[in-house]
Amino acid sequence: MSYQIPKFRHPELPVNELGYTKADYEGSISTLCAGCGHDSISGAIVKACHELSIEPHKIAKMSGIGCSSKAPTYFLGKSHGFNSVHGRMPSVVTGASMANRNMLYLGVSGDGDTASIGMGQFAHVARRNLNMVYIVMNNGCYGLTKGQDSATTDEGSASKKGDPNVYSAIDLCGTALQMGATFVARSFSGDKGQLVPLIKAAITHRGFALIDVVSPCVTFNNNPGSTKSYEFVREHAEATGTVDFVPMRKEITTDYKPGYTHEVTMHDGSSLHLYKLDENLDPFSRRSAINTLEDHRDARSILTGLIYMDKDSQDLHDVLQTSQRPLNALEEGELCPGNNMLENINASLR
């Protein structure tokens, strides 16, 4: 069946292939603090989804609890959303994906939600290679409970109210690599130019795609002494290179920038162009990705960009060999074997 696309449209606003403007991908007005990094990430999500021409209602926004997990209310207002419980978004997405493989699952979480209470689920959803995008809005603190250190707070980093953190930080990209994630990237909320193509690539990737986005908390953790402040990240970010996302529908040659070092064809036919800056990184080698992450950790610089990608990734549905038709679309007649079979079963139990 077909639906009417909303008729009223500002004549100047650019529309995508579905005829939607960017406004069709926006959500309610944000109630986060002015300047919060999370809002910039929401903006990047809106831009990426609009430019990729994804039907908004075919996206499910999934989150846990935290300022970051509230963010899905502020983008994609036409999509279903699920604000679950603290640290447990991955399991809800896993069930949702099992029920309907044909939707795009966009998970949003915080560093507390992921690296502390949700560490177990994060590790296991990566390991199962669930086909989803997992964005961590990583501010190195618990925003919603007023600024406590989180497990991604760097050793020695101090938040507005606190002493320098004495524990070593969990690197979510490194953890995801160890756990078997098939797409691992890091970015910065203040770098839309990098973030938008990474989100597009993550959406197109089949399998578990993590983007760990450093996202300063202006209220509790943007002070001098914090390694997750705007200033620190701007000074210490080092990109692996740049990424261009080229949808299949575009004439590839017209969009080429010369000098890219890799072209990856995605399973839907679109392609990724990687312009490498970091000579040591082979983004298709997990070992190289882990080494490069460690090198940057030693140098106290923040490695951003696409860090690893498995081009031949098999997602959980591939592994389980589930029906191509979504399980939630199967009819009673296909599911219920009927009384005859029960009679045979009864006979075998006598």
Partner 1 sequence: MRKRIESVNDFVIKFANVNGTGSASANNLFAKALFRMGLPVCPKNIFPSNIQGLPTWYEVRVSEKGYLGRRGGTDIVLSVNPQSMPQDIQDVESGGYFIYDNTKPLDLRLIRNDVNIIGIPLTRICNEQYQDHRQRQLFKNVIYVGALAALLNMDFKVLTNLVEDQFKGKEKLVLPNIHALELGHQWARANLECPIGIRVQTSDQVGNKILLDGNTALGLGAIYGGATVAAWYPITPSTSVVDAFEKYAKRVRIDPGTGRSNYAIVQAEDELSAIGMVIGASWNGARSFTATSGPGVSLMSEFLGLAYFAEIPTVLFNVQRAGPSTGMPTRTQQSDVLSSAYASHGDTKQVLLFPSTPKECFDFAALSFDLAERLQTPILVMTDLDLGMNDNMSAPLEWDDSRKYDRGKVVTAEELENGFDFGRYTDVDGDAICYRTYPGTHPSKGGFFTRGTSRDEKAVYTEKGEEYEENMLRLMRKWDTIKEYVPGPESFPCGRETHIGMLYYGTSEESSREAGDYLAMEDIHMDAMRVRSFPFNEEVRAFIESHKQVFVIEQNRDAQLRTLLMAEFEFGPDKLKSVLCFDGTPISARNISKQIKRHLKGGAVTPLHRNSVARGAGE
Ligand X SMILES: Cc1ncc(C[n+]2csc(CCOP(=O)(O)OP(=O)(O)O)c2C)c(N)n1
* Cα separation, 74 vs 52, whole angstroms: 19
> With CB cut-offs between 5 and 8 Å by kind, which of Mg ion, partner 1, ligand SF4, none does residue 22 bind?
none
Q: Does 115 bind ligand SF4 (CB under 6 A)?
A: no
Count of positions on this chain that bind partner 1 (CB under 8 A): 62
Q: Which of residues 145, 265, 280, 344 is near ligand X by CB under 6 A?
A: 145
Q: Does 330 bind partner 1 (CB under 8 A)?
A: yes
Question: In this structure, what token pair is assigned to residue 302?
Answer: 């923040």
Q: Which of residues 27, 110, 162, 197 is near Mg ion by CB under 5 A?
A: 110
DSSP string, 17-78: TTS--GGGGB-SPP-SPTT-HHHHHHHHHHHHHHHTT--GGGEEEEE-SSHHHHGGGGB-TT
Closest CA to 312 of 201, 193, 207, 165: 207
What count of Cα atoms within 13 Å lies in the side-chain half-sphere of residue 219? Answer: 14
Q: Does 93 bind partner 1 (CB under 8 A)?
A: yes
Q: Which of residues 220, 230, 232, 308 is near ligand SF4 by CB under 6 A?
A: 220
Closest CA to 173 of 225, 217, 209: 209
Footprint of ligand X on 51-110 (CB under 6 A): 65-68, 86, 110
Closest CA to 144 of 165, 189, 106, 113: 113
Which one, 87 or 197, has the nearer CB to Mg ion? 87
Chain residues binding partner 1 by CB under 8 A are 1, 3, 5-6, 55-58, 60, 72-73, 77-85, 88, 90-100, 102-103, 120-121, 123-124, 128, 316, 320-324, 327-328, 330, 332, 334-339, 341-343, 345-346, 349-350
Chain residues binding ligand X by CB under 6 A are 65-68, 86, 110-113, 137, 139, 141-145, 150
